[in-house]
Chain A
Amino acid sequence: MSELERSASAGDGHATGTGTEVDLHPEPQYPVNDPGHPEHLPRLTDVDEKAADRATRQVATMFGIVPVLAIGFAVTYFAVPETAYIDFGFLHVGLQHTLLGVTAGLALLLIGIGAVQWARQLMDDHEMVDYRHSAASDRDDREYVVTELQKGTEESKITRRKVLGRSLAGALVAMGIPLVVSFADLGPWPTKRRRAATIETTIWAEGVRLVNDITYVPIKASDLEIGQLVNGQPENLKDLEGTELLQAKAKSSIIVVRMNPNTIQIPASRQDWQVGGILCYSKICTHVGCPISLWEQQTHHLLCPCHQSTFDLGNSGLVVFGPAARALPQLPITVDNEGYLVARSGFTVPVGPSYFERDSRNDFKEGDN
């Protein structure tokens, strides 16, 4: 150890010692001597028998109430109907549930408080002193272990015949392969083809009607007023159920809004994506996929409640605030011969959150036309 290192650790006041004793503190570190353990002062219950009796009665009473509460729990469980309610002040709660909780909770609490009170008032409160040992093992143990390990290693012949150890290590490492490979069917592999069939496509297609979500009532263009918002779905969603339905819905959900064409910007490439100021956008946020329908009628801004990404539906869904990076995909729509809104095609870009293999060059950007 150089002078540097030695002096750097100087003044830390600890005898470096052998590691078997805990470091003692020399004088300069502790300018005041330890006055020793303070004298034990008796509690009231230690000197006054009546106080001790009182404390005993307190504890016994607390424990004594517990069986009453426990029985109360059972009575509530069997006798109080589930439909009963308390309507008192600001309490509008289910009666059975609250009573069960209060009886059991108070019972447990009283056991605890009683036990603690017993310890604090009645149990002997003389503090005890125990001595620490160094965390490190003592020298004998260390020497013994090192010596025996050395002996054992020699006896195993592994140092002489190194190939034994190396081949064993290789064998064990190799067993990692079956372990890892066994998990390869955790899910389908998102190859390019599978991605194209799943996350990059929706059930929208040319001619599919736009309908109201939940009611499946088709939407007539002339029914929509300026400032109207409709939460919509494709008509063919009706044919799906279960997991397939949810997976489709997580991509196909749309919102239809009608705005005054004079107040919005419709780029040249999207003139025929809208019908007289009626525009259709994906409802799935491009940030992490929450459905958005918080639309401000006057500002035309759409706010996602999850992380507050805001999109301007009067400007091709461009992001105006928040952590989303890409514009909301727009669905090209037109009207059929009965006046109902239908899709012109599917979405032109994958809907929903970004992923590494996503080609985002086709998304609408600021300045596009």
Chain B
Amino acid sequence: MARPAATVTEATATRAETPKPELGPVFKRAAAPADYLDQRLGVAKLSRPFIRKVFPDHWSFLLGEIALYSFVVLLLTGVFLTIWYKPSMAEVEYEGTYQLLHGLSMSQSYESTLHLSFDIRGGLLVRQIHHWAAMLFLAAMLAHSLRVFFTGAFRKPRELNWLLGVALIATGLIEGFAGYSLPDDLLSGTGLRFVDGLIRSIPLIGTWAEFFVFGGEFPGDIIVARLYMVHILLLPAIILGLIAAHLALVVYLKHTQFPGPGRNETNVVGYPVFPVYMAKAGGFFFIVFGVLVLMGGLMQINPVWTYGPYNPAQVTAGSQPDWYMGFVEGAIRIMPNWESHIGGTTWSWNVAIPGLGTMGLFFGVMALYPFIEAWVTKDKAEHHILERPRNNPTRTAFGIAAMTWYGMLWIGGGNDLVATQFHVSLNAVTYILRVAVFAAPVLAFIITKRICIGLQRSDEERLLHGAETGIIERDPSGAYTERHNPISQGEAYTLTQHREYAALMPAEADDDLSDGQLRRENLRRRASRFYFIDTLRKPTRAELEAAAHHGDDHDSIGDGHDGNGHNGHNGNGNGHHSIEAGRGAEGAGAVPSQTQ
């Protein structure tokens, strides 16, 4: 059916349009419903910014997704479980299928868990998927937060998103604890007994908090129901809100990206949401779900029927909480038995300090770190390019030290299993850990920092001298040299794209600053020296060009280019320093003492 050509006016002539692609059959059929929705919801307006939104691609960016998808699985399997679980501590006699508990008295919550596990087909599968998903949820959040930490993605403008993440981990921890206490079996009941003792030990308010939480003396008849409310209503709502805010910020600020050719602070390079990202992320959801279902089917977790119902006179050797509470458990185990009896009062430092202090310290330091680093660097710029961990050795070393501290406490939490599995003395493990929890992080800090600086030096090697080819040449005079290939400009750009921070010399008195302000500023400068004085400076453009020319007429031994350490460049063998000894004026941002 012919149509008259559209009239070309001034306006239409200057608007260059690419011809629209022919609409396929699916689009044609969807046209009417889409129009219906658009006329009521403005669907096109809403989805325009998102349809082809670009997300960068790196495997470490999927760690947060593991956490998100695990949470979705938790919600789905959780709803299934609530259909059968009864959150009541009323006493019943067991008459179900699992004969080994036949006739025993137990709470209804335990009985309904057994019923779900043995008499509902697929019930045990869903229960186990739920528990494995909880373990993965917390593990993925920690792994994701480590990635964010080590790449500096918490810097401006993402500090608030970091705080949301810390809140998510903390809430997730409590949520998991509430969840595994619901079956009221021997192991989790023992855990509740521990929490009862912990709450009780808080100075001044302990008994009040204990009676308020348990509705009276331990165990009371209401704690399971209260934990149920917390677990299915209060905390999931909070977590959902936090996740929504967290993701909204990621969408608004756009995801960070690793340095590379074609990438800079003003763009994002990657694949569009539709179709590539939808397929990759959506596919990953199914992969996470599939792995969780396989784990639920093949790996037994929390066999409550073997633990038996909770009985305050029973306990099992090897009583531990789920892994994410392990660090608190370790702190409680290795703490020395300090308690003060002052008059008629008892101050239980041995319980309150590790019980509450460990979590306070962990989450507190985690939450504060971006602000501490921002204070040290006085960095007010936005950052969208990630730092490779080696380029910020002190931060990386702090991170590894924190992981080591956490790891020591983790080992402490399982000290009796360490003793039996490795045939060592339980007491020796405890004594060693009391020291190691302080000493090992310091050691880890030192070692990590040196490793990072070593990696920076190898990067500098590549920049200035190119990549090692392994081809040895011998010249007529008999000298051996290794041939180096210059690296691509893309790689060179990647290696030099990171931001350098200044290690500042102390400031001198200034009319504009009060004494207090000057002291604070000098403290900050001291911190910046601690942070950045060992970091290698990037080679300048001139140095790179000089090295390139040098490489052209490269050869014999004796001119110092034996490939390791540039001994000719400065005094301490560290490569390029951010501050040269004695010269305050050089280097990126070092304050010269004379310009006041």
Interface residue? B35 (CB, 8 A): no
Whether B415 is near chain A, meaning CB under 8 Å from some CB there, is: yes
State whether A11 touches B589 (Cβ < 8 A). Answer: yes
Q: Does any Cβ of B come within 8 Å of A357's Cβ?
A: yes
B196 within 8 A of A: yes
CB distance from B498 to the nearest CB of A (A): 9
Q: Mark B266-290, 1 if CB is under 8 A from A, else 0.
A: 1111111001100110111111111
A-facing residues in B179-213 (Cβ within 8 Å):
190, 193-194, 196-198, 200-208, 210-213
Determine which of B221, B298, B430 lies in contact with A101 in the assembled complex, contact meaning CB atoms within 8 Å: B298
From 357 to 415 in chain B, residues with beta carbon under 8 angstroms from any chain A beta carbon are 378-382, 384, 415
Bound CA–CA A127/B276 (angstroms) = 10
For chain A residues 317-346, which have a beta carbon within 8 Å of chain B?
A: 319, 321-326
Q: Which one of A105, A112, A306 contacts B194 once the chains associate, using CB atoms below 8 Å? A: A306
Alpha-carbon separation in the docked complex, A9 to B289 (Å): 48
Indicate if A172 sits at the interface (CB-CB under 8 A).
no
Contact A109 B290 (CB under 8 A): yes
Q: Is the CB of A127 within 8 A of B313?
A: no
Is the CB of B566 closer than 8 A to any CB of chain A? no
Query: A290 CB to closest chain B CB, in angstroms?
Result: 5
Contact of A112 among B190, B215, B289, B499 (CB under 8 A): B289
A281 to chain B, nearest CB (A): 13
Given contacts A294-B317, A305-B316, contact A289 B294 (CB under 8 A): no
A102 touches B298 (CB 8 A): yes
Q: Are A243 and B332 in contact (CB under 8 A)?
A: no
If the complex has contacts A241-B91, A353-B201, A356-B347, are A119 and B276 also in contact, measured as CB distance less than 8 A?
Answer: yes
Within the complex, the shortest CB–CB distance from B313 to chain A, in Å, comes to: 4
Residue of B nearest to A134 (CB): B382
Which of A4, A33, A110, A125 has the most chain B CB atoms closer than 10 A to its own CB? A4
A71 CB within 8 Å of chain B:
no
B206 → chain A closest CB, angstroms: 5
Chain A residues contacting B206 (CB-CB under 8 Å) are 355-356
Chain B residue nearest to A107 in the complex (CB)? B290
Q: Are A129 and B54 in contact (CB under 8 A)?
A: yes
Within 8 A of A (CB), among B444-494: 488-490, 492-493
Q: In this assembly, does A163 line the interface, its C-beta being within 8 Å of a C-beta of chain B?
A: no
Q: B157 touching A25 by the CB < 8 A rule?
A: no
Is the pair B287, A131 in contact by a Cβ cutoff of 8 Å?
A: no
Instruction: List the one stretch of A146-154, A185-193, A219-227 in contact with chain B.
Output: A185-193
Which residues on B sit within 8 Å (CB–CB) of A48? Answer: none
Cβ proximity bits B117-128 to A, threshold 8 Å, 1 near / 0 not: 010011011001
- B504 A8 Cβ-Cβ under 8 A: yes
A250 in contact with B489 (CB, 8 Å): no
Q: Are B317 and A105 in contact (CB under 8 A)?
A: no
Q: Which residues of A contact B496 (CB under 8 A)?
A: 30-32
Binary interface profile of B, 95-113, with partner A (CB < 8 Å = 1, else 0)? 0010000000100000000
Q: List residues of chain B with CB within 8 A of the CB of A195.
A: 207
Total of A-B residue pairs, C-beta within 8 Å: 398
Which A residues are CB-close (under 8 A) to B382?
A: 22-23, 134-135
A100 and B297: CB pair below 8 A? yes
The reply on B556 being an interface residue by CB < 8 A is: no
What total of chain B residues lie within 8 Å of the partner, measured CB to CB?
Answer: 148
A127 near B280 (CB under 8 angstroms)? no
User: Residue-by-residue, is A103-132 near B (CB-CB < 8 Å gives 1, otherwise 0)?
Assistant: 011111111111110111001110111111
Interface residues as binary, A70-101 with B (CB distance below 8 Å gives 1, 0 otherwise): 00000001000010000000000110111111
Q: Are A291 and B315 in contact (CB under 8 A)?
A: yes
| B197, A287: Cβ atoms closer than 8 Å | yes
Say if the beta carbon of B216 comes within 8 Å of chain A.
Answer: yes
Contact residues, B143-187 vs A (CB, 8 A): 157
Q: Are B315 and A306 within 8 A (Cβ)?
A: yes
Instruction: Tell me if A246 counts as interface (CB < 8 A to partner B).
Output: yes
Whether a CB of chain B sits under 8 angstroms from the CB of A358 is yes
Q: Which residues of A contact B511 (CB under 8 A)?
A: 2
List, in ascending order, chain A residues with CB within 8 A of B265's CB.
Answer: 22-25, 132
B540 touches A125 (CB 8 A): no
A101-B293 contact given A32-B493, A323-B336, CB 8 Å threshold: yes
**Which partner residue on chain A sits nearest B54 by CB separation?**
A130
Report the separation of the CA atoms of residues A30 and B588 in the bound assembly, to the nearest whole angstrom: 12
> B215, B267, B312, B493: which contacts A35 (Cβ < 8 A)?
B493
Question: A residues within 8 Å of B by Cβ?
Answer: 2-4, 7-14, 16, 22-25, 27-38, 77, 82, 93-94, 96-102, 104-116, 118-120, 123-125, 127-132, 134-135, 183, 186-190, 195, 198-199, 213, 231, 233, 241-243, 245-247, 249-250, 253, 283-284, 287-294, 305-309, 319, 321-326, 352-361
Q: When A and B form their complex, which 7 residue pairs have the shortest distance between CB atoms, in order from nearest? A: A101-B297, A288-B197, A11-B589, A109-B290, A112-B286, A37-B262, A115-B283
10 cross-chain CB contacts under 8 A: A25-B265, A29-B499, A31-B496, A108-B286, A112-B287, A115-B286, A198-B216, A249-B313, A250-B193, A291-B312
Interface residues of B (CB under 8 A from A): 52-54, 89-91, 97, 105, 118, 121-122, 124-125, 128-129, 157, 190, 193-194, 196-198, 200-208, 210-221, 252-254, 261-262, 264-272, 275-276, 279-280, 282-298, 300, 310-319, 329, 332-339, 341, 344-348, 350-351, 354, 378-382, 384, 415-416, 426-427, 430, 488-490, 492-493, 495-497, 499-500, 502, 504, 507, 510-513, 521, 538-541, 543-544, 588-591, 595-596
- Given contacts A28-B540, A187-B213, A288-B197, list 17 more A-B pairs with CB under 8 A: A11-B502, A32-B493, A96-B121, A98-B298, A102-B297, A109-B286, A109-B290, A116-B287, A128-B270, A132-B266, A187-B215, A199-B207, A245-B91, A290-B193, A305-B416, A323-B333, A357-B346
